[in-house]
Amino acid sequence: MQIIEPISDMREWSESQRRAGRRIVLVPTMGFLHEGHLCLMRDARLRGDLVVASIFVNPTQFGPGEDFAAYPRDFERDRRMLEAEGVDVLFHPSAAQIYPAGAQTFVEVEKLSAPLCGAARLGHFRGVATVVAKLLNIVQPHAAIFGEKDFQQLQVIRRMVRDLAMDVEIIGHPIVRESDGLAMSSRNSYLTAAERQAAVCLSRALCKAERWFRRGEKAAAALVNLVVAELAKEPLAKVEYVQLCDAETLDEVGAIGAPAVLALAVRIGNARLIDNRVLKP
Ligand code: AMP
């Protein structure tokens, strides 16, 4: 596996591979990798000839008072994991390269960035869209893979790529879970043993709502209340939001008539955890 840091080297590599007719698939990450990330790498392997993984903890997607400084980092471990997966290139740029002094250009996907996580994390999706636009510009992949765990992020990126006529295929990958249902996340490392046990309440609540939906419940209020009540049984869980939204526009819906996403964010200890379930009529 090649480790590339300078933007110019990354571009040069991509240009020569594209010229040779090879299909490049990019998997952007913030590192501190887990099995969920590795599933994206394997998916990338199946979808192209060359896999590029990027590791960059993007400062602009963290708000003031968020966990940028505390975000877990272990480059050596990540490097070994990617090497073992057979990833071709690890792109690991510095913040100074990604945000050169005086940088003042940002990408804003206006409407999709506003609800859900965007309401609690002002500027978060502006940071995400900006860094992903830069990574796509630098790596020039044919396709890029993003996890459906960050459902809103995936929709924001799809919209950005369409709106800016970027020549790249965006692929969503299903949520990868621990055996008890907890969605894998680098932030799960913040949880104490007791909090880790409590954290299963997110997926449990979504599973219950999905069962109700399968039995015919279509009303948003009923499904959201069910999830809130289920989460309330867990004293360590502090709910930030539970919402049912149209899966494409992310507008809140009153009932499920088209694919909808039941999305939630919950604080447990120092971790802010998110999860979702797409419900299709
Ligand atoms: P992160 O390093 O948390 O920014 O995640 C990098 C990519 O991996 C993003 O596209 C995430 O949506 C995706 N990802 C993280 N955790 C999971 C998971 N449990 N299942 C599927 N995708 C994931």
Q: How far is the CA of 202 from the centre of ligand 1 (A)?
A: 17
Q: How confident is the model at residue 169 (pLDDT cuts 50, 70, 90)?
A: very high
In three-state secondary structure terms, 43 is helix
Return the DSSP state at 181.
S
> Which residue's C-alpha comes closest to atom 19 of ligand 1?
184
Q: How confident is the model at residue 134 (pLDDT cuts 50, 70, 90)?
A: very high
Share above pLDDT 90 across residues of the chain, in percent, rounded to a whole number: 100
Question: Span 40-50, mean pLDDT?
Answer: 98
CA gap 263, 239 in Å, rounded: 11
Are 47 and 143 within 8 A, CB to CB? yes
CA gap 149, 1 in Å, rounded: 27
CB of 185 closer than 6 A to ligand 1?
A: yes
Residue 126 CB coordination number (10 Å)? 19
CB of 150 closer than 6 A to ligand 1?
A: yes
β-pairing, 169-173 with 143-147?
parallel
Q: How confident is the model at residue 65 (pLDDT cuts 50, 70, 90)?
A: very high
Q: How confident is the model at residue 144 (pLDDT cuts 50, 70, 90)?
A: very high
pLDDT tens for each residue of 226-275: 999 999 999 999 999 999 999 999 999 999 999 999 999 999 999 999 99
Among candidate residues 34, 37, 124, 173, the one labeled active-site is 37
- What pLDDT score does 34 carry? 98
Question: Span 103-121, mean pLDDT?
Answer: 97
150 CA: nearest ligand 1 atom: 12
The yes-or-no answer on residue 37 being catalytic is yes
